[in-house]
Structure 1
Amino acid sequence: MKRLQHFLATILAIAALGGGVAAQAHGIWFAQRAKQTALIYGVGADDLDMVKRLGLITGTYGYDADWTPVTASLRVAGPIVLVDSAAPTVAVAAAMDNGLWSRLADGKWVKGGRDTVPNAVRAERTMKFAVHLTGTPNTPIPSLPEQVLQIIPVDKTLPVDMGKPLTIKVLYKGKPVADAEVKHDYVNDPDQPPVKTDKDGIATIKVRNQGLNVLAATYVGPADNPSQVDHVEYLATLSFVLPHAPE
């Protein structure tokens, strides 16, 4: 009986921790809403309230076909946040500082670092980044300075059909990073086992959808303030749309 009770307690503890980790797995990405580009916050099918989190966005960026910056901004439109730009773009990007979060022994996440949550079993800063292709650039995606963590395709062009392999590189502060965890469909299959990047920051996945694809990479970096957090968790997305057959 004691063994059974210990086993059940262990399972419950693991479940609590897993739920806590999942709560911290939210990211940002771009998707079309009524033929306009919107910035989304959530995970999987959870399209959460981006409007109330708008103040956490530290930068919005646009680029033309040659990756020359184009002024871009965010606009609240009812329950969603849309992207406006001063000129046509082939890519938009954003950065978000999601602040300090601490996990308690029961698996619950609360806002704040170790200075305000001294009984935390884990404390972290969470940073979110997103790049979205709205068109076809003339050159491959470069390392973008505002994207501390970034996914870039290795090949010049993207596959045009789902199921095709896509080799990507994950950059941390502009340099390839090993052991970043990559998911090939952050929206439709957020719980999939991730693929880790190799020593050169490279991983190969298969394009999941003949439509919107949202790739996600997560990397845990050193603490920027060790008195407050144990580490900084970065989550970056790269999104693009594969065209469907003509109607």
Structure 2
Amino acid sequence: MKFPKLVAVAALTAGLIAASAAQAHAIWFAQRATQTALIYGVGADDLDMVKRLPLLNHYAAYDTAYKAIPVKLRPAGPIVLVDTDSPATILTADMDYGYWSKTPDGEWHKKGRSEVPGAVVSEHTKKYTVRINGPLSGPIPVLANQTLQIVPLASKLPDMLDQPLTVRVLYEGKPIAGAIVQNDYINDPDNAGVKTGADGTATIKVRNQGFNVLAATYNGPSDDPAKADATVHLATLSFTLQHAPE
């Protein structure tokens, strides 16, 4: 679903990846007081998603057969809640966060290189997220508007923390090598992660017996070399493991 405007080349150098990490905020879906919310932030920092709603391009919900179902986003005070008429197995969203340039003093500016002549790095940042709400009926397909997507290879997620989980990172629907996969974007957002292999896969250990947010970063070709050195794609995949009965 297109978000209504009424609501106001292979991976580049390691240095560019490290520089991008300084302002690599992401989006993800999470539970807030028994309701699902769309979050913008990094680590434990939940920032103002309401004011960033105009940057959102699309959002969608899917049933157990991966068919689209109606969904709405609803600002509720400082957060954005998700409303569906029927249970959603999968939720998605994507955001264009625009052009950013970093100057030698370490500051980031929301402008392209053409407007910041002394920039040490400039990038176009795009963000994507997939949320798994319920049991999967089969492998998750390539989902609309998810230019970068993290896909579990197995239809069933692990039951316990520390169990291995193999994922494939897709760029424009195809496996991409060299993407960085982090197993815990919430509690350890600065971890180095692991790189995907030639087949686009990486194996991580599930970090939490509860809420998990995986992240994948890929520096793709610039869509406007005059403004940016690369287009930095940041995707998340979130799911929850059940705790023991009380």
Structure 1 length-normalised TM: 0.90
Alignment of 1:145-160 (within 5 A): 145-160=144-159
* Higher RCO (C-alpha 8 Å, min separation 6): 2
8 Å Cα contact 1:67-1:137 kept in structure 2: no
8 Å Cα contact 2:91-2:130 kept in structure 1: yes
Q: Does 1:41 align with 2:40?
A: yes
8 Å Cα contact 1:145-1:174 kept in structure 2: no
Of 230-239 and 21-30, deviating more is: 21-30
Match of 1:230 in 2: 229
Say which SS state the counterpart of residue 138 (structure 1) adopts.
Answer: coil
CA separation in 1, counterparts of 2:150 and 2:62?
A: 16
The number of residues matched between the two structures is 231
Match of 2:77 in 1: 78
Higher helix share: 1
Q: Does 1:117 align with 2:130?
A: no
1:205-229: CA deviations, max 9, x gaps?
A: 0001110000000000000011111
Structure 2 length-normalised TM: 0.91
8 Å Cα contact 1:154-1:169 kept in structure 2: yes
Match of 1:208 in 2: 207
Match of 1:169 in 2: 168
Match of 1:95 in 2: 94
Alignment of 1:23-38 (within 5 A): 23-38=22-37
Say which SS state the counterpart of residue 115 (structure 2) adopts.
Answer: coil
- Give the superposed CA RMSD: 1.5
CA separation in 2, counterparts of 1:215 and 1:40?
A: 14
8 Å Cα contact 2:91-2:132 kept in structure 1: yes
CA separation in 2, counterparts of 1:150 and 1:177?
A: 10
- Amino acid in structure 1 at the alignment position of 2:122: A
Q: Structure 1 residue runs of 4+, over 2 Å off?
A: 17-23
1:159-191: CA deviations, max 9, x gaps?
A: 011110000000000000001000000001111
Say which SS state the counterpart of residue 53 (structure 1) adopts.
Answer: helix
CA separation in 2, counterparts of 1:216 and 1:99?
A: 19
CA separation in 1, counterparts of 2:235 and 2:36?
A: 18
- Amino acid in structure 1 at the alignment position of 2:161: M
Alignment of 1:118-137 (within 5 A): 118-137=117-136
8 Å Cα contact 2:137-2:155 kept in structure 1: no
Percent identical among aligned pairs is 58
Of 107-116 and 202-211, deviating more is: 107-116
How far did 1:136 drift? 1.3
Gaps of 5+ in 2: 1-15
CA separation in 2, counterparts of 1:115 and 1:149?
A: 26
CA separation in 2, counterparts of 1:132 and 1:177?
A: 21
8 Å Cα contact 1:216-1:238 kept in structure 2: yes
CA separation in 1, counterparts of 2:219 and 2:62?
A: 28
Match of 1:14 in 2: none
CA separation in 1, counterparts of 2:106 and 2:221?
A: 22
Gaps of 5+ in 1: 1-16
1:58-99: CA deviations, max 9, x gaps?
A: 011000000001122211000101111233211101000000
CA separation in 2, counterparts of 1:223 and 1:235?
A: 15
How far did 1:110 drift? 0.3
